[in-house]
Chains A and B, each alone.
Chain A
Amino acid sequence: MIRLKRYIFLPVVILVIALFSAELPAVITGQCSDCHTMHNSQNGAAMVSYVFGSETTDAKEYLLVGTCLGCHAQGGASMVANVNGIDTPQVYHTDATGDLAGGNFAYILGTKGSGASDAKGHNVVDFGNTEDTLLSPPGHHEPDGIGINITCAGIAGCHGVRTSSGGIYGNHHRNEDGKLTTADQAYNSYRFLTGVKGLEDSDWEKTKSVSDHNEYFGATSPMTFSSNCNICHNPQGIRPSNNTISGFCGTCHRYFHVSDQVNGISSPSPFTRHPTDVILPGSGEYASYNGGSNPYSLVAPVARTTIPDVPGDTVAPGTDVVMCLSCHTAHASDNSDMMRWDYKSTTLATAISGCNVCHTAKN
């Protein structure tokens, strides 16, 4: 009996360790010199040391010791890297155990995954990879003013203040973590995506499960353009007026989001594009979202119309919301079109496996 208890106790201990051994997230604390250098010179050597590819170690704006990619795209073997003592989420790495929630730009360059492809992600210009297919963000208005020169931050990027003079500056210092319901500045927005609300997973989904993940904010109807540029263009920069993650994507991919291009929102006409910021129906095949008792799917997640305090482990058809990230990753995936699953698999059941999370009767 004693031996039996030992064999019950052992796995429980292993489980507890597995659940709670995740690397704790870092915040911006510590010495100023961890991130800044006064003269970019110490004993005659440049202090700028976190750069990517052909980026130089010349002095950087805001006296930083690195660039966005220098700190967050180190290309190492871990999806979370230690940068001067700070756990830093990596958007470009070779960690074989997985990727953080946003995905991994390494798939575009082919340093991880099944091979390089422009179609695998947002082809951020800082990585130095030429975009060979697109001329502008698909679904954007024309002229779009961006072309293919998308960046990490700023007016042609996603993070920070999205103005021509904007960027991340200062927001790391004021960063607010966790549940973000204000979202009127970059620092109090979800992942510095100005205007976006949500619940940030503390380790960027380094560990993830049905009850351990980000929570995205969604709405019951998408933004309506109707010649109103202000749904995205704000004096403080570009941001979605509806504060949703899908609205945020729509700031560059407008036709894929706004009600006047998707149709079927305020009228009974069928959708002409796959909708986002619409309620996952509570009836029919959608009621069986992900089977069983509707466990949250990491393959095809949903957004919430009310941001929870803690990640929810189930989905409520009839209440929760379809979003862009239900199908796509934000940065890049190992699948074409940044899909969360291999939509181009030669095995049909695999190719539609993500579709079937919601479209449960189309399997």
Chain B
Amino acid sequence: MRGRESTGMRRRHNEEYIMDTVKSSTFYKLKTLLLTILSSLALSGMYYIEPANAGTYLNSAHGNSTYGVKRSASGFPTDYTKGLCGHCHEQHSSVDGSEPEPIDGSPSTYELFYSNYVNQTDNICFQCHKDISSYQTGGSLVNRSYSFRAGGWTADSLNDLLEAFSVASPGSSHYLDNVTTLITAKSWNYTSDSNPCDACHNPHAAQGDPVGAPNSAKSSGTRGWPVSRPSLHSEDNSVWGLWGDSSGEKMSDYAGVLTYQAPYRYNSTTTYEPDGSTTQNGSNLTDYVTFCTDCHNTTNTIYSTTLGRNLRAVDWTAAKHGKGAAVLDSASDIFPPYQDAQLGNYVMSCTDCHEPHGSTNVFFIRGEVNGSVPVTVLTEAGTNDGPGSRCNSEWTYLCGKCHKRLVSSDGHAHPSFIPPDTEGCSDASCHSGDDGCIYTSCGTCHYHESDTVFGTPYGEKLF
């Protein structure tokens, strides 16, 4: 018994020792935790620790610490890190007691180092966004065309924004004075001091697309989001966000129950715009329809200085290339990736045909469309020769990228009778030959919002 008692007591003693040890360990942990919490509270009260987190600017192209803005100019500090505010904004209109280059003699609005906007080819943005004599370190800043970046047409020689906005007739570019006129007329918080580039881009948010690789085409791993909707413009960077970067802002969202079909990448039948992946439904493409129709809609009257007339209105909800009714008829014979059976379901994006900044074609028509070149449209009326040297047929450079049977060897799929005419192919209006050419340009009847043939209502949209 004694022995068992002794053994039992030892066991109890050991258990108590173990329990004491456990209690002691638990108490020690509690003590440490308590001290830590109390000390942290005390310290946080005395020295408030401010949060640090990367936001919109640090994720932007300008604010990127690797390839962001970095001015190189006489009199300008060389040790400002990339992305620093001071590369664009001179807080005192001087640095170290004097004004660095470019010296324009007086302080500029928004503390910018150069006038915010002067004209089509002269503004703060173009001081850096050009390939020669750029103030960006290295002296050259490359920005490629949409056909290059999304289309994958890397032979496009256009390589900077100043060049894109300097394209002379017969080429075209977004005319910035007209942009200014529109955005300042709207209640979008723009003023006469605003830079028209800011109509589409938030300089404190816009990302490269592709990110940090301006001389490359987009890939699914290098995507960025460059635009912000003008109608949502605000000086508050936390309000005016990017457009296209979030769900609900993609072409697939715009299409809804309809279908967005991505065009082919250049010289490919297996990869698609905009990033060369196999994604075809626009879930990787910004909803450019919503973006562009902030301005180009049926409400805004936009005078074009370069065209000398108002721009045509755009109602993409009614257009055949938009959400409007389109039917399978004798003219419906289209190239892949589009399918005849899906006609009526397709919704196109503005960027399927148009460059955003400028191109050597009229109306910023892309130089590459649906995977191939050339696209050469130099007259609005389309009176130049088209493929195969056919007169009045230059629009078929564009239309023929998707629509088959537009070349003579294919015959003609066009409806034979176009009301109110009844003479079919031999109708004098269609094949008059008055100018020595037997063809009528596509653009005679087919343009944004057109629904008439030679002035006579056709009964449905013709574009």
List chain A positions with a Cβ less than 8 A from chain B. Answer: 3-4, 7-8, 10-12, 14-15, 18-19, 119, 133-136, 138-139, 209-210, 212, 255-256, 261, 263, 268-274, 283-285, 288, 290-291, 295-299, 327, 336-337, 343-349, 351-353, 355, 357, 359-363
Query: Nearest chain B CB to A224's CB is how many angstroms away?
Result: 16
**B79 interfacial by beta-carbon distance below 8 Å:** yes
Can you list, as one digit per residue, whether each of B328-365 has a CB less than 8 Å from chain A (1) or not (0)? Answer: 00000000000000000000000000000000000000
- Give the interface centre of A7, A134, A283, A291 by most chain B CB atoms within 10 Å: A7
Complex contacts, A268 vs chain B, CB 8 Å: 191
Q: State whether A349 touches B54 (Cβ < 8 A).
A: yes
A-B pairs, top 4 by smallest CB distance, nearest first, are A272-B107, A361-B237, A284-B236, A361-B238
The main secondary structure of chain B at its interface with chain A is: loop
Complex contacts, B204 vs chain A, CB 8 Å: 361-362
Complex-state Cα separation, A291 to B238, whole angstroms: 13
Q: State whether B52 touches A353 (Cβ < 8 A).
A: yes
Q: Among the listed stretches B1-9, B93-101, B133-141, B274-282, which one makes contact with chain A, having 4 or more residues with CB under 8 Å of it? A: B93-101
Complex-state Cα separation, A268 to B52, whole angstroms: 33
Given A3-B27, A291-B51, A361-B56: A348 in contact with B92 (beta carbons within 8 A): no
Complex contacts, B236 vs chain A, CB 8 Å: 283-285, 361
Some 28 contacts from A to B, beta carbons below 8 A apart, are A8-B34, A10-B35, A133-B97, A134-B97, A209-B46, A255-B92, A261-B107, A270-B116, A271-B109, A272-B108, A272-B109, A273-B107, A274-B111, A284-B235, A285-B238, A288-B238, A290-B50, A291-B51, A295-B48, A296-B48, A297-B50, A337-B96, A348-B63, A349-B58, A351-B80, A361-B56, A362-B57, A363-B55
Complex-state Cα separation, A113 to B269, whole angstroms: 62
Given A18-B46, A134-B96, A209-B47: A11 in contact with B39 (beta carbons within 8 A): yes
Q: Among the listed stretches B83-91, B406-414, B449-457, which one makes contact with chain A, having 4 or more residues with CB under 8 Å of it? A: B83-91
Task: Name the CB-closest residue of B to A362.
Answer: B57
Complex contacts, A271 vs chain B, CB 8 Å: 109-111
Q: State whether A346 touches B81 (Cβ < 8 A).
A: yes
Q: State whether B111 touches A363 (Cβ < 8 A).
A: no
Task: Name the CB-closest residue of B to A134.
Answer: B97
**B42 interfacial by beta-carbon distance below 8 Å:** yes
Complex contacts, A11 vs chain B, CB 8 Å: 34-35, 38-39, 42
Q: State whether B109 touches A269 (Cβ < 8 A).
A: yes
Complex-state Cα separation, A278 to B82, whole angstroms: 29
Complex-state Cα separation, A362 to B79, whole angstroms: 21
Query: Nearest chain A CB to B438's CB is how many angstroms away?
Result: 59
Complex contacts, A351 vs chain B, CB 8 Å: 80-81, 84
List chain B positions with a Cβ less than 8 A from chain A. Answer: 27, 30-31, 34-35, 38-39, 42, 45-48, 50-58, 63, 65, 68, 77, 79-86, 91-94, 96-97, 106-111, 116, 191, 193, 204, 234-239
Complex-state Cα separation, A336 to B81, whole angstroms: 13
Complex contacts, A348 vs chain B, CB 8 Å: 58, 63, 65, 68, 81-84
Complex contacts, B84 vs chain A, CB 8 Å: 343, 348, 351-352
Task: Name the CB-closest residue of A to B86.
Answer: A343
Query: Nearest chain B CB to A249's CB is how many angstroms away?
Result: 11
Q: A133-B97, A348-B82 are in contact. List 7 more A-B contacts (CB 8 A).
A: A7-B31, A343-B84, A351-B84, A361-B56, A362-B204, A363-B53, A363-B57
Q: State whether B57 touches A269 (Cβ < 8 A).
A: no
Task: Name the CB-closest residue of B to A345.
Answer: B81
Complex contacts, A261 vs chain B, CB 8 Å: 107
Task: Name the CB-closest residue of B to A292.
Answer: B51
Q: State whether B81 touches A273 (Cβ < 8 A).
A: no
Query: Nearest chain B CB to A283's CB is how many angstroms away?
Result: 8
Query: Nearest chain A CB to B258's CB is how many angstroms away?
Result: 36
Complex contacts, B68 vs chain A, CB 8 Å: 348
Name the contact of B107 in the complex, choosing from A263, A345, A361, A363 (C-beta under 8 A). A263
Task: Name the CB-closest residue of A to B96.
Answer: A133
Q: State whether A284 touches B54 (Cβ < 8 A).
A: no
Q: State whether B81 touches A347 (Cβ < 8 A).
A: yes
Complex-state Cα separation, A271 to B235, whole angstroms: 13
Q: State whether A138 touches B57 (Cβ < 8 A).
A: no
Complex-state Cα separation, A12 to B45, whole angstroms: 13
Name the contact of A256 in the complex, choosing from B46, B63, B92 (C-beta under 8 A). B92
Q: State whether A361 touches B92 (Cβ < 8 A).
A: no
Name the contact of A7 in the complex, choosing from B35, B50, B106 (C-beta under 8 A). B35
